[in-house]
Amino acid sequence: MMIEDVEFSKETGFQDTPIGKTPRDWKTAKLEDVATYINGFHFGPTDWKSKGLPIIRIQNLNDKDAEFNYFQGDIDEKYIIENGDLLFSWSASIGAYVWNRGKAVLNQHIFKVVPKQGVDKLYLYHALFLAIQQLSSRVHGSTMKHFKKEELKTLIPLPPLREQSGIVGVLGVIDSAIELVDGVIWKTERLKKGLMQTLLAKGIGHKEYKYSKELDSEIPKEWEVAQLSQLLEREAITYHLDGNHGELYPREEEFVSEGVPFLSANMIVDGVIDFSKAKYVTEERARQFRKGVAKDGDVLFAHNATVGPVSILRINVPYVILGTTLTSYRCELDCLNNYYLKYYMESPHFQKQLQRIMKQTTRNQVPITAQRKLYFVSPPISEQKRIAEILSVADKKLETERKEKMRLERVKRGLMDLLLTGKVRVKVD
């Protein structure tokens, strides 16, 4: 289907319903009345195998790279999932999904949704997103969000079946475009990962290697390995970590609508600072922060609550303030390139070090005392810059594609607001 071939009309006759105005010839229906919801099977660790049918868990819905556990044995047919099945996760991460990764079995906390007669499966998939907006204000749990089964009484709009199919056709065009962009993003991410594994371990054009006991791996002969504490002593790098706690740390009522950005770890998304999540403090308040100050070009490292994400700070203001979940690193001498440092901190070498530290503590953090013991690999500065240049090409491609995906998602949200409320209708024969 091409959107330009579809005829639309603006609706003028509405009725009042509990979920707002809808066209007079539409119905409203409870989620529980339009489909059967089959909760997944309670698989335990003893059921997990290395081969068999993949077990669909929440992480497999949200991350296509997440590893599967597998199941071997007999199981009721109702727990079998095939391509095209509609899934609805109701715990930890609430969302709707159309499965397309082959035959599998369904874990608990996820519904297999089987639409009833008169309900288009893909229309229901889109309508579930409307329901999720309503459910978001009624979820339960402080650490693991979930909704209770009585929430399936939530209402959704229900056009005639033929119009449901027309709406699906229009939204499907946008979904196909998003899927294509997702594919490009996935391939570029794989390319970047492969480049990182090669460049940050083998370098460029090296023939002789040496064993590094600190990293337990081979590295080029010319490369150096140093702990952060050694780099600090050499003044090759400085770090900035917020040390202003207690009364100096901003209270919620002290944040203002504009001023000096106040950053936290959850703002690093796909290696980029998402400033839409930033809070702000006044210039006067910002000057009270002696340590938690970061400037353009600094490398930001999430060390608390969320551990591991890294980003280069790019700002057009003099400085920002860091919350207690971030450390910033600043390359002071011309022997360490900030972009190389950022990529190295994303590398398997560095992330494995973080995982070892995490296993030694019950808290989800890597404090500065532990950061000082982390090992960094330093190629010659010219090679650092070349490695950073190569990897930045992949990053620029990812940034472009992610922006395009965000644009398409905005278009889709706009279309859903028009089509799923009946403000604009798809003409059907």
Q: Which tokens belong to 428? A: 């059907």
Q: Give the pLDDT confidence of 5-20 residue by residue, as tens digits.
A: 667 788 788 999 998 9
Residue among 410, 406, 413 nearest 182 (CA): 406
Q: Give the pLDDT confidence of 28-38 residue by residue, as tens digits.
A: 999 999 999 99
Contacts of 207 (CB under 8 A, 6+ apart): none
Residues 295, 410: Cα–Cα separation, whole Å: 32
- Write down the pLDDT at residue 246: 45
Residue among 226, 123, 219 nearest 172 (CA): 123
- Write down the pLDDT at residue 2: 60
Residues 243, 278: Cα–Cα separation, whole Å: 19
Cβ atoms of 294 and 322 within 8 Å: the answer is yes
Specify the residue for token string 């770890």.
265
Q: Which tokens belong to 176? A: 């196909």
Distance of CA 195 to the CA centre of its chain: 22
**In the chain, what are the domain boundaries?**
27-158, 224-378
- Per-residue buried b or exposed e for 170-183, using 16+ beta carbons within 10 Å of the residue's own CB: bbebbbebbeebee
Residue among 66, 139, 138, 130 nearest 104 (CA): 66
Cβ atoms of 5 and 83 within 8 Å: the answer is no
Residue among 126, 123, 135 nearest 159 (CA): 123
Contacts of 49 (CB under 8 A, 6+ apart): 69, 70, 71, 72
Where are the extended beta strands (E) located within 217-294?
A: 217-220, 224-227, 237-241, 260-263, 268-269, 272-273, 279-281, 293-294
- Write down the pLDDT at residue 240: 76
- Per-residue buried b or exposed e for 338-366, using 16+ beta carbons within 10 Å of the residue's own CB: bbbbbbbbbbebbeebbeebbeeeeeebb
* Bridge partner residues of 10 (DSSP): 424
Contacts of 4 (CB under 8 A, 6+ apart): none
pLDDT along the chain (429 residues), means of 10: 70 89 94 94 88 92 88 93 93 86 94 96 94 68 58 90 94 95 95 94 94 92 93 84 58 90 91 92 86 90 89 93 90 91 92 84 80 92 97 96 96 94 87
Residue among 260, 395, 244 nearest 318 (CA): 260
Residue among 379, 371, 381, 340 nearest 238 (CA): 371
Q: Which tokens belong to 143? A: 């650490």
Domains 27-158 and 224-378 share a fold: yes
- Write down the pLDDT at residue 238: 86
- Write down the pLDDT at residue 5: 65
Residue among 170, 159, 99 nearest 127 (CA): 159
Cβ atoms of 66 and 59 within 8 Å: the answer is yes
- Write down the pLDDT at residue 252: 87
- Write down the pLDDT at residue 143: 47
Classify the phi-psi angles of 196: left when phi > 0, otherwise alpha if psi is within -120 to 50, otherwise beta: alpha
Fold of the CATH domain 224-378: Adenine-n6-DNA-methyltransferase TaqI; Chain A, domain 2 (3.90.220)
Radius of gyration for the alpha carbons in the chain, expressed in angstroms and rounded: 26
Residues 37, 19: Cα–Cα separation, whole Å: 22
* Bridge partner residues of 272 (DSSP): 269
- Write down the pLDDT at residue 362: 64
Q: What are the backbone dihedrals phi and psi of residue 242, each rounded to the nearest 5 degrees, phi first?
A: -60, 125
Say what the pTM is.
0.84
Residue among 66, 64, 119 nearest 97 (CA): 64
Size of the chain, expressed as the number of residues it contains = 429
Domain 27-158 classification at class level = alpha beta
Distances (CA, A) of 223 to 122, 206, 220, 383: 55, 10, 6, 10
- The DSSP code for 91 is B
Residues 138, 132: Cα–Cα separation, whole Å: 10
